[in-house]
Amino acid sequence: MEPHQVKVNGVPRVLAAGPQVSLLDWLRGQGLTGAKEGCAEGECGACAVLVARADGPDRTRWTAVNSCLPPALAFDGGEVVTSEGFGRAPGACTAEELHPVQREMADRGGSQCGYCTPGFVCAMAAEYYRPERRPVAAGEPAPDQGPNGFDLHALSGNLCRCTGYRPIRDAAYALGAPADGDQLAARREAPAPTVRLTRFVSERAEFIRPGTLQELLDRLEQEPDAVLVAGATDVGVERNLRHSRPRLVLAIDRMEELRRLDVGTDYVDIGAALTLTEVEQGLGGRVPLLNKLFPQFASRLIRNSATLGGNLGTGSPIGDAAPVLLALDATLVLTSRRGDRPVALADYFTGYRRSVREPDEIIRAVRLPLPLAPSTAFHKVAKRRFDDISSVAVAFAARFDGAVLTELKIGLGGVAATPLRARAAEDALTGTELTAESAAEAAGILAGEGTPMDDHRASARYRTAMLEQAMLRFYAESAPELEVIR
């Protein structure tokens, strides 16, 4: 078998490292110290690099990811660009010139101590090369966008302690379009690197990328302790902070069977191993409630790796996907050698980080029944505006007949040991007319659901108050339409 290999900045490098070595540590071990470690848990973006990802069958998209989280082996056969790789081939510039992103960052004082800079450069470059980026027409509303169509959310996963961000934003908004002859731009027009079925076996650990779902399920049945790795945004944190060292790692992030997006007449199936960014792009706004979730879920860097399968796979009570999917009445399609087993998400969680999923089962897809309830809302209360874990998350999906609520589903996160449906509030309102009074009454009921805790993120009292507020806001947002109906 060929040695494991990653093309970094256009040059193939042999990859001889076990699954415990992150892409970041491997790159730095290669002497490419542009990418830095600032936190080792996906929060700061100092480690951001560009990776070549498929953009349909024929094209490639430069995608920025946190290199501190995924194992380097996950990039076997792949292409990576670091800050060092921009100024020279295969970058767009002659040897003397800086890449336009680097030029603007240097020019506008976007770099002070410089430690965050390579990560910002990579995150900014991904947005620079985003094929959909177009200058904003005069008068067109473009929140959080520069006149050049630069989406500021692209930088939501990068922290800088020195500059106050203003000079960095100035740099981002000054960028033009890639020039003719820009090799990274040209690279987008060819297919992404083909996925290699990596097999790394050492005395202490194994890293396998199964070629088929069947092979994956076979391995999982034999070794139920194996750790699945999709985007590694949780697994990587476990490795770095809690020093978890699984014996067997099974990579599922490129597995075709888990990466389908099927929009049928009765349901939408979202592959569990699609990244949130891919889901967002693939759905193109067809599930409005998910569109309300995405911008509030971590950062762009994280969403470029994180999957729904991973978010539900951990069973965390504060995951943001669960409340939204509960409101959408989602079903999880679990699969094992015994075949598919659909389980309603509302029945999936059984306790703190526990679920009905058997050790040999994986989440294959998330199924959303159609038609979708037309009125939706998502309220996430966190301490920081973006890139923060929820104190409380509440999702609503409702259907009205006139002013009467014929259907209402409310998903809650952060208020109990598991995500849950707010059945009592749902029952109180379903079949009734939504009015200021009924909303206020339901708000009281909603506030009583769950068993919120005090912690350093928020007090139980505050969490309870937020539940109440979420209901009142849902009413306030629906009120104008109801007014018209009345």
Partner 1 sequence: MRVQQPAATGLDLERVDGRAKVLGLAPYAYEHPAENPTYLYPVQSTIARGRITAIDTAAAETMDGVVAVLTHLNAPRLADAADKELAVLQSDEVGFRGQFVAAVVADSPEAAREAAARVRVQYHQEPHHAALRADHEDLYKPEQINAGLETDTQAGDPDAALASAAVVVDRTYTTPAEHNNPMEPHTTVAQWEGDRLLVFDSTQAVHNARKTLAPLFDVEVEQIRVVAPHVGGGFGSKGLPHAHVVLTALAAKVTGGRPVKYALTRQQMFFLAGYRTPTIQRLQLGASPDGRISVLTHDVVEQTSAIKEFAEQTAGISRMMYSADHRRTTHRLASLDVPVPSWMRAPGECPGSFGLEVAMDELAEACGIDPIELRVRNEPAIDPETGKPFASRHLLACLREGARRFGWERRNAQPGTVLVDGWRTGIGVAASTYPARRQPANTARIRFTADGFYEVQIGAVDLGTGAWTALTQIAAEALECGPEQVRLQIGDTDLPVATVAGGSSGTASWGSAIIGAAQMFRKEHGGFPSAGDTSEGDGERNPAGKNYALHSFGAQFAEVQVHADTGEIRVSRMLGVYSAGRIINPRTARSQFLGGMTMGIGMALHEQSVMDERFGMIVNHDFADYHVPSNADIRQLEAFWLEEVDEHAGPLGARGIGEIGIVGAAAAVANAAYNATGIRVRDLPLTADKFLT
Ligand X SMILES: Cc1cc2nc3c(=O)[nH]c(=O)nc-3n(C[C@H](O)[C@H](O)[C@H](O)COP(=O)(O)OP(=O)(O)OC[C@H]3O[C@@H](n4cnc5c(N)ncnc54)[C@H](O)[C@@H]3O)c2cc1C
| Residue number, nearest CB to ligand X | 310
Minimum Å gap between C-beta 310 and ligand X is 2
Whichever of 305 and 469 has its CB closer to ligand X, that residue is 305
Question: H helices within 11-163, ranges in order?
Answer: 23-29, 100-107, 117-128
Q: Which of 114, 137, 121 is nearest to 175 (CA)?
A: 121
| Binding flag, residue 48, ligand X (CB under 6 A) | no
Q: Which does 60 bind (CB under 5 to 8 A by kind): partner 1, ligand X, ligand FES, none?
A: none
Whichever of 113 and 476 has its CB closer to ligand FES, that residue is 113
Residues 9 and 410: their CA atoms lie apart, in Å, by 47
Q: Which one-letter DSSP state was computed for residue 355?
A: E
For residue 17, the SS3 value is coil
Q: Which does 306 bind (CB under 5 to 8 A by kind): ligand FES, ligand X, partner 1, none?
A: ligand X
| Binding flag, residue 116, ligand FES (CB under 6 A) | yes
Minimum Å gap between C-beta 290 and ligand FES is 25
**Cis bond before residue 90 (omega within 30° of 0):** yes
| Residue 306: CB atoms within 10 Å | 24
Of the candidate spans 41-49, 211-219, 242-250, 393-401, the one that interacts with ligand FES by CB under 6 A turns out to be 41-49
| Binding flag, residue 232, ligand X (CB under 6 A) | yes
| Binding flag, residue 389, ligand X (CB under 6 A) | yes
Q: Which one-letter DSSP state was computed for residue 275?
A: B
Q: Which does 469 bind (CB under 5 to 8 A by kind): ligand X, ligand FES, partner 1, none?
A: partner 1
**Cis bond before residue 480 (omega within 30° of 0):** no
Q: Which one-letter DSSP state was computed for residue 303?
A: H
Q: Which does 68 bind (CB under 5 to 8 A by kind): ligand FES, partner 1, ligand X, none?
A: ligand FES
| Residue 123: CB atoms within 10 Å | 29
Do residues 254 and 209 make contact, with C-beta atoms less than 8 angstroms apart? yes
- Tell me how far CA of residue 294 lies from CA of 180, 400, 483, in angstroms: 33, 25, 30
Whichever of 119 and 246 has its CB closer to ligand FES, that residue is 119
Helices 166-173 and 100-107 meet at what angle, rounded to 10?
A: 140
Q: Which does 27 bind (CB under 5 to 8 A by kind): ligand X, partner 1, ligand FES, none?
A: none
Mask: binding to ligand X, 363-382, rule CB under 6 A, as x and -? x-------------------
Of the candidate spans 10-18, 137-145, 214-222, 309-317, the one that interacts with ligand X by CB under 6 A turns out to be 309-317
Minimum Å gap between C-beta 347 and partner 1 is 30
Strand-pair category, 261-263 with 349-351 = unpaired
Of the candidate spans 111-119, 204-212, 307-315, 378-386, the one that interacts with ligand FES by CB under 6 A turns out to be 111-119
For residue 286, the SS3 value is coil
Q: Which of 214, 210, 217 is nearest to 255 (CA)?
A: 210
Among 40, 152, 249, 306, binds ligand X (CB under 6 A): 306
Whichever of 40 and 410 has its CB closer to ligand FES, that residue is 40
| Residue 18: CB atoms within 10 Å | 18
The residues binding ligand FES (CB under 6 A) are 37-40, 42-47, 66, 68, 111-117, 160-163
